[in-house]
Chains A and B, each alone.
Chain A
């Protein structure tokens, strides 16, 4: 049982390049999230999804797009990377069903992205 798996673990991009971060969970969770972590700012929510085919904006959505075509996968895209997007990105999932709608989040191990 892998839990939440993020790929890649590390990536270096040049300004203007694009890339997609992949997140997969095998726990049949309804909710999935993308966060970014920056020094002194904790984790901030980029986008989230409450079910297959749905997405919504979080606190810092600008410059990112997401898709959830399958329940187990949540993709984060950067269309034109900027140095301000240098960060550690975390994917997370939670059960979300019925009385477990505020069950704890399960996190992936993060992706360190550097934009030069």
Chain B
């Protein structure tokens, strides 16, 4: 079975600074997808970024980028120029290529942004 581990229960960053959230996963599949979701206090689940395992290039979405290390099974999220609105719980998630889109989530990391 696939597992996803987020080893940082909490992180904090100063506004305008950069922070990196860690995620590791375990799988025997070669075709899979990795995601970062943001959950603000409103409880809404918002997709931040998506990476396809067969793509070597790291995904980027504006201030959000990932460092995808396939051999190490590591998938970290970097938030640049942090904003107060980035404060939320962040979840790393895995989906196998043949899993009908089912996601396996990590435990989550609470990000606090200090003004």
Interface, chain A (partner B; CB < 8 A):
31, 33, 35, 40-45, 48, 50, 58, 88, 90, 92, 94, 96, 101-105, 107, 109-110
Question: Which chain A residue lies CB-closest to B103?
Answer: A105
B107 and A41 contacting across the interface, CB-CB below 8 Å: yes
Distance in Å from the Cβ of A27 to the closest Cβ of chain B? 13
Q: A102-B95, A102-B97 given as contacts; is B43 within 8 A of A88 (CB)?
A: yes
Distance in Å from the Cβ of A8 to the closest Cβ of chain B? 14
Q: Once bound together, how far apart are the Cα atoms of A34 and B11, in whole Å?
A: 29
Cβ of B28 within 8 Å of any chain A Cβ, yes or no, is: no
Question: Which chain A residue lies CB-closest to B98?
Answer: A101
B50 and A104 contacting across the interface, CB-CB below 8 Å: yes
Q: Once bound together, how far apart are the Cα atoms of A104 and B50, in whole Å?
A: 8
Contacts between chains A and B (CB distance < 8 A), count: 55
Interface, chain B (partner A; CB < 8 A):
4, 6, 9, 33, 35, 42-45, 47, 50, 91, 95, 97, 99-108
Cross-interface CB contact of B45 among A50, A58, A101, A107, cutoff 8 Å: A107
Cross-interface CB contact of B108 among A31, A33, A42, A103, cutoff 8 Å: A42
Q: Once bound together, how far apart are the Cα atoms of A42 and B45, in whole Å?
A: 12
B44 and A107 contacting across the interface, CB-CB below 8 Å: yes
B106 and A42 contacting across the interface, CB-CB below 8 Å: yes
B105 and A101 contacting across the interface, CB-CB below 8 Å: no
Question: Which chain A residue lies CB-closest to B45?
Answer: A107
B100 and A50 contacting across the interface, CB-CB below 8 Å: yes
Distance in Å from the Cβ of A44 to the closest Cβ of chain B? 7
Question: Which chain A residue lies CB-closest to B39?
Answer: A37
Cross-interface CB contact of A102 among B42, B43, B91, B101, cutoff 8 Å: B101
A31 and B100 contacting across the interface, CB-CB below 8 Å: yes
List 20 extra interface pairs beyond A102-B33, A104-B50, CB under 8 A.
A31-B101, A33-B103, A35-B105, A40-B107, A40-B108, A41-B107, A42-B4, A42-B105, A44-B105, A48-B102, A50-B100, A58-B102, A88-B43, A101-B101, A102-B97, A102-B99, A102-B101, A105-B47, A109-B43, A110-B43
